[in-house]
């Protein structure tokens, strides 16, 4: 009877030990699982954090590059505008007297024609008329000097090759001694203001004489 109690007691103690071992094993598994989950979570958080930082840095770099590019473009546009405005102002100053030059050239033509006409009969003129002619000649010389000072230049191209940019052909004249297209006569001189044409020179140009058959 006593032996049965002892056996039952031993079995009970063994069961209790097994239960304790089972419980401990389950707890260890649960703890290990929790630790694994924590490690994975921390790892993911770290990766996400690193990725977020890299993305932020890349975005900042991209924004800076875009800002620098926009600034450089703005500076380039400003410089182009400054150059264009400066060039326009220079052109305006350079050719500001174009209309006045045209009007003065007409006056010059009239004075020059008058001097040429009267000079042919200078010896037959009264003293007063001679003095008037001298005054007109002096005025013409002063006008020429004013033209020269303001880069208003005469085109007087006798013997030069015809240039359609500066000359206007009025007639052709046969001449075998000169190259065809050479200016042989000027009906009216031309004028330029700096490099801009005010009036083309009206000219006659040479051409080959026809061979007799």
Does pLDDT of 14 surpass 80?
A: no
Torsion sign across C-alpha atoms 180, 204, 103, 145:
positive
Average pLDDT over residues 170-188: 90
User: Do 1 and 89 fall within a single domain?
Assistant: yes
Residue 34, pLDDT score? 53
User: Do 87 and 103 fall within a single domain?
Assistant: no
User: Do 2 and 83 fall within a single domain?
Assistant: yes
User: Do 156 and 193 fall within a single domain?
Assistant: yes
User: Do 120 and 180 fall within a single domain?
Assistant: no
User: Do 56 and 122 fall within a single domain?
Assistant: no
Going by pLDDT thresholds of 50, 70 and 90, the confidence category of residue 65 is confident
Nearest Cα neighbor of 156 from 116, 138, 183, 117 is: 183
Query: What is the value of pTM for the model shown?
Result: 0.60
What is the domain count for the chain?
A: 3
User: Do 85 and 41 fall within a single domain?
Assistant: yes
Domain with 105 in it: 97-150
User: Do 163 and 212 fall within a single domain?
Assistant: yes
User: Do 53 and 111 fall within a single domain?
Assistant: no
Contact (CB, 8 A) for 153 and 173: no
């Amino acid at each position: 009877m006593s032996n049965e109690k002892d056996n039952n007691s031993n079995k009970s103690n063994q069961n209790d030990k097994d239960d304790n071992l089972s419980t401990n094993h389950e707890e260890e598994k649960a703890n290990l699982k929790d630790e694994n989950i924590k490690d994975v979570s921390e790892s993911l958080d770290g990766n996400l954090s690193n990725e977020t930082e890299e993305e932020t840095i890349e975005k900042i770099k991209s924004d800076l590059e875009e800002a620098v590019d926009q600034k450089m473009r703005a500076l380039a546009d400003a410089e182009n505008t400054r150059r264009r405005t400066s060039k326009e102002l220079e052109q305006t100053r350079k050719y500001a007297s174009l209309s006045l030059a045209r009007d003065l050239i007409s006056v010059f033509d009239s004075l020059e024609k008058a001097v040429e006409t009267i000079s042919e009969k200078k010896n037959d003129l009264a003293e007063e008329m001679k003095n008037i002619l001298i005054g007109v000649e002096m005025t013409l010389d002063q006008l020429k000097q004013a033209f020269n000072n303001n880069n208003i230049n005469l085109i007087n191209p006798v013997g030069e090759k015809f240039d359609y940019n500066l000359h206007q052909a009025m007639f052709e004249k046969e001449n075998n001694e000169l190259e065809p297209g050479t200016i042989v006569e000027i009906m009216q001189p031309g004028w330029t203001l700096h490099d801009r044409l005010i009036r083309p020179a009206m000219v006659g140009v040479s051409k080959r004489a026809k061979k007799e058959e």
